[in-house]
Each structure stands twice: as C-alpha cells, then as structure tokens.
Amino acid sequence: MEITVLGLNHKTAPLEIRERLSIPKHKAADILKRLEAERIFDERVLLSTCNRTELYGVGRNNQESVVRAKKFLSDYSNIDLADFENNLYVFKQPDSVEHLFSVASGLDSMVLGETEILGQVKDAYLEAHKIRQTGKVLNTLFQRSLKVAKNLRTHTDIGAGKVSVASVAVELAEKIFENLRNARVMIIGTGEMAGQVGKAMVSKGAKSMIVSHRHLDRAEGLAQALGGEALSYEAYEGRIKETDILITSTLAPFVLIQERQARAWMRARHEKPLFIIDIAVPRNVDAAIEKLDNVYLYNVDDLKNIADQNLALRKSQLEECFRLIHAQTQHFMGWLSKERFV
Amino acid sequence: MTTYLLLTVFFGYLAGAVLYFLSFELQSEALYRPAKLVVFGSILFHGALLPSSFIQNPHFSITTLAEYLEVVSFLMIAISFAVEWRAKTRFLLLFSLPIVLVFCFLAVLLAHQKQPAALMTHLPGWLWIHTGLILSGFTSLIVSVSSALMYLLQSAQLKSKHPGPAFLKLPSLDTLDRLHFVSLSAGVVLFSLGIASGFIWARQMKEFLEILKDPKVSLSFLTCLMYWTILSFRLSALRRGQKIAMGTVFIFIFLFITLLSSIYAPSGFHRGF
C-alpha cells in the first residue's frame, strides 16, 4: 500500500490550466465515485481550490492509477494530456505525506501561512469520508495533517500578522476598537485601494459606510457596492463626530485635512479614538496629526511596511516549520510500517 | 512557618510571571496555558493560606501591614485572574503580577511585625466596614493601574507604526479603556467610602482630631482627591485614553507611598499598619 499524490498548483500551472482542471465542490462527490468506478486507487481524496487540484490516493498499483487518473483529468477538462502533463506533479510516500502536511499548514499556499486552506483540506476529507472513499490510511493521514497544521500555528509564527494592506488596516482597527460592528467608516475619495480597505472593514461588520467625494455619482456607486450612504464633500465634516475610521483617497494635490481641523474634531468627539488611513499619494492628511492624542494615522507606506514585516516574519519561520513537518512525516511513516501498510 | 508558606506563594507567582513574560515576549501560545495554571495553583495555595493563618493566630486577619499586603495581593491576583478569564483581557496578569510580587515580598519581609494591638484584635463594627471597603477599593485600583499600563503599551505600539510582538497579544484600546474606567470608578468610590467610614468611626470614638494628624490619613485624603479629579475628567469626557491612563499610573505610585507611609511615620493612628 502506498500513498501517492497527483496534482498541480499555482507554482506549476498557469491560471488557464488551473481553472480548467478546477473541480467545483458540488461535483467532488460525483468525481470521486467515477474514480472509484474506474478503480483509480483504493482510497482517494480530492482537494480542489482556486490554486490547486490534487488527488490523494492509496493503492497497491499506484503507477497504473496515476496514468489512469491523468487520462481522467484530461477527459474531464477537455484538454489534451500533452498540454498539461508537464504542469502535473506526482509525489510518492514519504514525499506525498510531507506535501499534504505542508499544504494543510499553508506553507504551499500563494499567501504563505494562510488559514483558509486548512478548512478546505478538512472539507475535502469529510466529503470523501462521507461517501466512503477513505480507509484507515487516508483517515489517519488527513486527521494527522489537521493536527500538524494546528500544531505549527501554536509553536511557530507562521500565521503571525496579516500580509495584505487591507487586512493589516483591519487588524489595526481591531486593536483600537473592541468590535468593528460598532465602528463607523468614512471614505473620502473613490480610489480602488480605499474601496478594498473599506470592503475589508465592512466584511468585519463595520456598521455603516459613508462615502464622500466631490463627484456624488461616483460616491453613490461605491456606497451602493459597500452597502453605505453617499455624502457630498461639503457635508462630510458634519459627520466626522460619528466616524471612527476615516479613509482618505482623493487625487487632491494638497493636504485636505489640517492639524487644527483634527484637533477640533477630537474635542467634538470627546477624545474618542480616531483611526485615519491616508491612502492617497500625495497625502491628503497633514502628518502632524499623528502627534495628537488618541489619533492613529497610517499612510499607505506604513501599512505596506507592516504587511512586509509580517511576511518576512512568516518566511523566517519556514525552516522551523519544515523541520517540524519532517519529524511528523517520520512519525507517520513509523505508524504506517507498524500497521504493515508498507 | 507562615513566612515559609508565603515565600512558597511568592515563588509560585514568580514562576507564573516568568512564564507569562516568556509567552508574551516569545509569542508562544504553548506557554500561556502553563502560565495560567501555575498562577491558578498559586492562587489556590494562597487562598488556603489565609484561613490557616487565622487558625494559627485567631485575630482579625489584617491587623498588621504584612497581613494587609498578604490579603490585598490575594484579592488582587484573584480578581485579575477572574477579569482576564471573563473579560477577554489576555495578559492582564502580566501587568498585575509584578505589583503582587512586590506586595508578597514586602509581606514576607514584614512578617515579623509586632503582635497587633488589642483594639485591632477586637475590631469594632465601623472598622470592619472601613478595612473591607479600603481593601476592595485598593484591589480595584490595582486592576485599574494594570489596565492603564496595558493601554499605554498598546497605544504606544499603535503610535509607533511598527507594532511589535505585544501588539497582537494585547486587547484592543476600547476593551482596555472600558476595563480601566470600570475598575477606576469602582476603586475610587470604594476607597472614598472606606475613608468616610474611618472618619465616622473616629467621630464615634472622639478621635476625629487625632486621626487628622496621622500622615497616612492626610496622604490618603490627598490621593483620593487626585483620583476624583482624574475620574471627573474621564466622566466629563474632557480627557480620555493616554492622559487618563498616565494619570492613573502616577496616582497609584502616590497611593503606594501612602500605604508604606505608616511604617516610617514617627507617629499616627495607622502606625505599623
């Protein structure tokens, strides 16, 4: 009995191939049953996300199963095998085991250390388990992979911090305000980045979105997309008192918000904390504002620096993560030989 | 015997503080649980020590400064533990433990104080209320200073724009501000009521003028006044956040000096207590 993985991912295949070979969640059960009917592996789990499609199998004659699985994928995607065979990888144990542990831990993801993949691995396993496609080996392997991923998060900094500008902004906001559901966001300007940051805040429950811009029609478009309210530029100062997070992203070639203005706002707000994110270049907010008590001002470079620092921290953990994964792989292989599957 | 047992409690808290610090500094989630367990074990041991001391010396348990510190440190750590657990203010204990350690250490050092005065062993009703209120107020004020320190640290991290390891571990500013405000309000009110009950007792005993000469009383009165000033600023929302937190830390230092003043004061009603 041997564990094999056949698949492709964002590192080995371009998007055009990945999207053709992607298997939607609702089709996974059907595909697994067809693989069973064609006697491709004795146990099997299909993992398909936007960045990877992988088939984990256990069998006695895996070489033949792999050949048949490749043909199956070619038929499924309507692409000649020759057009994507070079994008495929095949790992045999113990590499296949180590690969699954790395995938579940987010070490093989496009965004290093992301956690979404853990849920996807779990769902893929449960789907296969539900329709009796897994046996003792894959059950143990996938359950172990979930434990390894959680262990890595506990013992290393692989999941520390956020690594995109929008998520860093949300993380900072969550460290200022107890709950973003009670926070109100105002966006001045309709830049793409401001929209992304605003969307990230709204996804965390930011109560209402007030979008203000010199062109009210554009503001209305963004407000609608974010489920908020549009305001004219002249009206925004009147609403500052109720704003907790202010995002500026206009093309104005001068400073829109002066220090004395912010000082007056803070008095009106009874010194309630104000988080200002200045995404505009040139900057819309006077840098002297950051010296005011209870005002937290970040510009796009500040956010990017934090994202880069977090990514560097995650990368620095890779060696330790692979060491832990290697040890866990050895441990699993020990179990496999003890159970006489090897 | 009690001194050695108290020393054991001290080392228990010290071990907990070290584990907390390592968990905080190394970002190690694996050390957080043992840290909590060690502190919890020490709290249980400390809690068991208090009634056993009473059995050994059957008199009111806070008749000397050493006993007072022993009880305050117990109340403070127990409340901090409960607040950290219930209010999701992770690492509150990291900031409370150093104060508890100082109190425990002083309690060990002062454990050989003289036997309590006869008056204190047979405490009249008003003094029970006085000491009870002062104790609870003091404990609450220690929680407020711990949360103020956490607030200042988190705020500094956010202002620096290069958040360090502490940033992810500490709760949000809103959470800390709420905890700080609640504990400060409760502490100031209880502390003030404690002072008032002391005055009422002194009037009944016709000692009113005498206790005013006590440096601990005048310093407590001054401390209370400072606390009310800072609380009124916070309540009127003229100031909040960093400045109020800094004020709390500053006044707490003054409160600590007030507490110790009776040891070194040449005279006074609270002398040695």
- The yes-or-no verdict on residue A52 having pLDDT over 60 is yes
Average of per-residue pLDDT across B136-155: 90
What is the reported pLDDT for B137?
Answer: 87
B147 in A contact zone (CB under 8 Å): no
Q: Per-residue pLDDT averaged across B195-200, rounded?
A: 85
Amino acid at B14: L
Q: What span, in angstroms and rounded, lies between the C-alpha atoms of B167 and B160?
A: 11
| Number of A–B residue contacts, CB under 8 Å | 61
Least CB–CB distance from A155: residue in B30, B167, B240: B30
> What's the mean pLDDT in A270-299?
91
Question: Residue B239 has what pLDDT?
Answer: 66
> What's the pLDDT at B118?
46
Q: What is the mean pLDDT of residues B102-131?
A: 68
A87 falls in which pLDDT band (50, 70, 90)?
very high
Which candidate from B29, B175, B241 shows the least CB-CB separation from A273? B241
- Backbone angles phi and psi of B61, in degrees to 5: -70, -5
- Is a pLDDT exceeding 90 seen at residue B272? no
Are A126 and A120 in contact, with CB atoms under 8 Å apart? no
b or e along B203-214 (b: 16 or more beta carbons within 10 Å of the residue's beta carbon)?
eeeeeeeebeeb
Nearest alpha-carbon partner for A7 in A132, A91, A77: A91
State how far the Cα of B34 lies from the Cα of B31, in Å rounded to an integer.
6
Among A157, A178, A271, select the one facing B172 at the smallest CB separation.
A178
Q: Do B162 and A155 touch (CB under 8 A)?
A: no
A245 phi and psi, to 5 degrees?
-125, 125
CATH for the A165-307 domain, from 3.40.50.720, 3.40.47.10, 3.20.20.70, 3.50.50.60: 3.40.50.720
CA atoms within 13 A on the CB side of A285: 27
Active site residue A321: no
Contact criterion met (CB < 8 Å) for A178 and B175 = yes
Domain ranges of chain A: 2-160+317-338, 165-307
Q: What is the pLDDT of residue B268?
A: 58
* Pure H helices in chain A: 15-21, 25-37, 62-77, 81-84, 95-104, 116-130, 136-155, 165-176, 192-203, 216-226, 236-239, 259-268, 300-316, 318-338
CB contact under 8 A, A271 and B163: no
> Which pLDDT belongs to residue A3?
93
Contact B172 A174 (CB under 8 A): yes
Q: pLDDT for A231-265, tens place per residue? A: 888 778 888 888 999 998 888 888 889 999 999 99
Pick the range with the lowest mean pLDDT from A135-139, A145-149, A177-181: A177-181
Catalytic residue among A15, A50, A268, A281: A50
- One-letter identity of residue B62: I
DSSP characters over B144-175: HHHHHHHHHHHHHHHHHSS--HHHHHS--HHH
Instruction: Please state, rounded to an integer, the average pLDDT across all residues of chain A.
Output: 89
Which residues in chain A are contacts of B238 at CB distance < 8 A? 270-271
What's the sign of the alpha-carbon dihedral A302, A303, A308, A309?
positive
B158 with A172: CB under 8 angstroms?
A: yes
Q: What is the pLDDT of residue B113?
A: 63
The CATH number corresponding to A2-160+317-338 among 3.30.460.30, 3.30.420.40, 3.40.50.2300, 3.30.450.30 equals 3.30.460.30
**Encoded amino acid at B103, one letter:** F
Asked if B168's CB is within 8 angstroms of A160's CB, the reply is: yes
Between B123 and A50, the more confident residue is A50
d(CA B29, CA B44): 24
Q: Do residue A176 and residue B29 have CB atoms under 8 angstroms apart?
A: no
Domains A2-160+317-338 and A165-307 share a fold: no
User: What residues of B are in contact with residue A157 (Cβ under 8 Å)?
Assistant: 27
> Residues of A with CB below 8 A from B241's CB?
271, 273, 293-294
Q: Which residue of A has its CA nearest to B239?
A: A271
Residue-level pLDDT at A68: 92
B174 and A177 within 8 Å at the Cβ level: the answer is: yes
Q: Mutation target for B interface from A153, A154, A178, A313: give the one with most B CBs within 10 A.
A: A178
Q: In chain B, which residues have their Cβ closer than 8 Å to the Cβ of A160?
A: 27, 168
Angle of helix B215-235 relative to helix B173-204, nearest 10 degrees, comes to 140
Is the model's pLDDT at B210 over the cut of 90?
no
Domain ranges of chain B: 1-121, 124-273
